Amino acid sequence: MKKTITLLVMMLVAVTGFTQSFVMINTGNQQKTENLFKDSNLKIHYYNDNFVLATAEVVDKNMIVLDSPAFAGNDAYYIVYCGKENQQDYLAEIKAKALFSDDNIMIFNQAVKPYKNDGTIAVFNKEAKRAVANRDFPFVTEENAVIREMMNQVNMDSLEATVQYLQDYQSRIWNSDNAFAASDWIAGRMEALGLEVEQQPFYASTWTGSGQAAPNVIGIQRGTLYPDTYVVCGSHFDSFSYEAMYGGGACPGADDNATGVASVLESARIMTQYDFEYSIIYCAYGCEEMGLYGSEAYASRCQQEGMEILGYFNNDMNGYLYGDQIHIDCIYPNSVAPIGDYYMNVGSVYFPELPIRHVNFNEGDSDHTSFNNHGYMGIYPFEDYQHYSPNIHTTNDLIGPSVNSFEMSQQYCRMNIGCLAELANPVIDDNVIVVDELDEEIVRYEVYDLMGRIVNKDVNNLESGVYIVRYTTKKGNVLTKKITK
């Protein structure tokens, strides 16, 4: 009898160890989320401010069991953003059963088409990592003259040319020939700037089929002092519309997301003219529209390789201006508030007139989430979250109706450069640098030290040292020189 009981206990332990359930745990605060990451019973795959999705060997009363056994016959679960008032019609259309639903989302164990806009996240059988700041973000109090010079070089014609080129593909569906061509073109642009360029292949299993997606493009600008510590920006280059998916239509994807690619490439064009202490990575991802596949492939690899990333800045839709005033809605979970505070700090110093606000967005997601779920702080500067382009994911996502303000795109790109540069820390050459020769009447000048702080002294009365002098001409042009006293 004793042997029988022992055998039954051993069998129960074996079954318990083998069968894992896919569960949701509501959190609501960061401390509870942090404690769950320490729970050896859980393997967390996804988290946000409100809940975690995990596999658990032992289920308790605080868990909602979504599926058991977990990941049995499916390589991912899918979060779909869909308001409660639309869920019944959506389920009838897709003919699928949801594992869970609440006021804003539904969860499925199979790939399903999104309800509306950027509405799907694929959750894989990979272990997530809580995002933490490896070091404090700098608190910026004054402009850095060199960074201001970079910002001033952002060219609206250059941004428009990139958006137009990508729009002209007509379609950049995740696994199409055009998407592969766009990946090659972006890689060529990065190579021409002297970056270390890689095209990262990855596989995607989507509601439209499975196979190799157009590869991510990763371009690295090596830092002079800390080449293995990185600041990262990224955008996705694929596009989507139901017209294109079902044949006969286009998905030009001008605002979503040729504008984001344009910001990344324009940032790289300007910043590769300078040296930085830390490395900068410029990314372009494939297959975002199907569930963040491309950024997930890259961010998970970064985690596996133990890469030290100081911060991630997403570029996705920045060309549709609602109203008369350019403003930035910054999307990020409360768990990465330090990088959000940093972004707003940079904005308040360089563009004090620019409204920037932190918002919670319940209609979709973007590639910053992949980085947040693999241990890195990332944010998503976005158009007006209540009035973003109504033309995305349609044949009318074009320059004009959908991208109506390259001045707005220019402002977003300047902020991207400012945040990257303040973290990566520009290196000042010992030689005199003349950015532009101007034979014009000078109406004022400002003197900065090498930390970018304004020195309130006449040029002739400076103490010994190296300074940057920024001259402004009567025509509004700028001349920057380095002087040694």
> Tokens 């014609």 belong to which residue?
157
Strands of 318-450, DSSP E: 328-331, 356-359, 378-382, 426-427, 442-448
Residue 10 pLDDT: 45
Given this model, what pLDDT does residue 435 score?
42
The DSSP-derived string for 279-324 is EEEEEEES--TTTSHHHHHHHHHHHHTT-EEEEEEE--------SS
pLDDT at 456: 62
Tell me the pLDDT of the chain (485 aa) as tens digits: 444 444 444 444 444 445 899 999 999 888 999 999 999 999 999 999 999 999 999 999 999 999 999 999 899 999 999 999 999 999 999 999 999 999 999 999 999 988 876 579 999 999 999 999 888 999 999 999 999 999 999 999 999 999 999 999 999 999 999 999 999 999 999 999 999 999 999 999 999 999 999 999 999 999 999 999 999 999 999 999 988 888 778 999 999 999 999 999 999 999 999 999 999 999 999 999 999 999 999 999 999 999 999 999 999 999 999 999 999 999 999 999 999 999 999 999 999 999 999 998 877 899 999 999 999 999 999 999 999 999 999 999 999 999 999 999 999 999 999 999 999 999 976 543 344 445 677 777 777 765 556 776 566 677 776 677 777 777 766 666 667 66
Catalogue all structural domains in the chain, each as residue range(s) with its CATH number.
9-124 (no CATH), 145-427 (3.40.630.10), 442-484 (no CATH)
- What are residue 241's phi and psi, to 5 degrees? -160, 150
Phi, psi of 348 (to 5 degrees): -65, -25
Report phi then psi at 229, rounded to 5: -120, 135
Instruction: Please give the single-letter amino acid code of residue 231.
Output: V
C-alpha pair distances (Å), 389 with each of 25, 59, 314, 321, 383: 34, 43, 18, 8, 8
Q: Quick one: pLDDT at residue 28?
A: 83
- Which candidate, 436, 435, 389, places its Cα nearest to that of 409? 389
